[in-house]
Structure formats: C-alpha cells, structure tokens
C-alpha cells in the first residue's frame, strides 16, 4: 500500500488527518503527522510549544524530538512550558540551536 493510498483508504477519512503532510525526499516517501503547535506574532514570528511535567526531567529523546520538529518546520524558538498536575508553573524560551546543549538532553546534532 503506497502512502497516498493510506489517505484515501476507507479506514481513514480526511478529517482524521487534518495535520498530516506527505513529503518526498529524493526516493524516500514519508507520511508525517504534526503534534507540534506553532504560534507567532509580534516579537516572535514563529515559536513552537512543548508542555512538560515538572516531575519528569527533559531527556535526550525529548530534546531530539523538539530539535527535529523545529528544524523540519523552520521554527527558530521553542517555548517549554512546565506544569505540575496540569497547572502551568512557568516556561523557558530556547533557540532551536540551543536545544542540543540543554542539561540532561545533550546530543550531537551532526550525529543525528
């Protein structure tokens, strides 16, 4: 089953995939879903948002996920909002290029 056929399948209606994109990179085809809200305006033309539980530290997988999302979508900054039991406790802004150097999630972007 080719990726474009998945979108036309009777199992999935277009409304189920309001945030999907079909990309082709040379000979590779990808069906991507987007769970990253991007906001913009005023001083911040584009900024992504990630909600994180204060009880769980950022790990390398979270860092790579945020960094790749921002890189692919050409978003220059990330707002990391911290919550405790669903109540926002604060937030921190990071430039996309700073994400690989965050504490507890350091990774080498060249390797990725």
Confidence at residue 42, expressed as pLDDT on a 0 to 100 scale: 75
Confidence at residue 11, expressed as pLDDT on a 0 to 100 scale: 45
Paired tokens of 89: 């406790």
Instruction: Return d(Cα 63, Cα 7) in angstroms, integer.
Output: 30
99 burial via Cβ count (<10 Å: 0-12, 13-18, 19+): buried
Confidence at residue 32, expressed as pLDDT on a 0 to 100 scale: 64
pLDDT average, residue stretch 97-111: 93
Q: pTM for the whole thing?
A: 0.68
Paired tokens of 5: 């056929």
Give the confidence band of 33 by pLDDT, cuts at 50, 70, 90.
low
């Amino acid at each position: 089953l080719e990726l474009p056929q998945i979108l036309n399948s009777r199992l999935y209606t277009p409304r189920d995939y309001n945030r999907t994109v079909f990309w082709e990179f040379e000979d590779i085809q990808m069906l991507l879903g987007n769970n990253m809200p991007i906001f913009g305006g005023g001083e911040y033309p584009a900024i992504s948002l990630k909600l994180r539980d204060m009880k769980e530290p950022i790990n390398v997988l979270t860092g790579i996920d945020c960094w790749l999302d921002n890189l692919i979508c050409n978003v220059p900054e990330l707002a990391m909002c911290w919550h405790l039991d669903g109540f926002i406790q604060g937030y921190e802004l990071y430039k996309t290029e700073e994400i690989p150097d965050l504490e507890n999630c350091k990774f080498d972007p060249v390797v990725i």
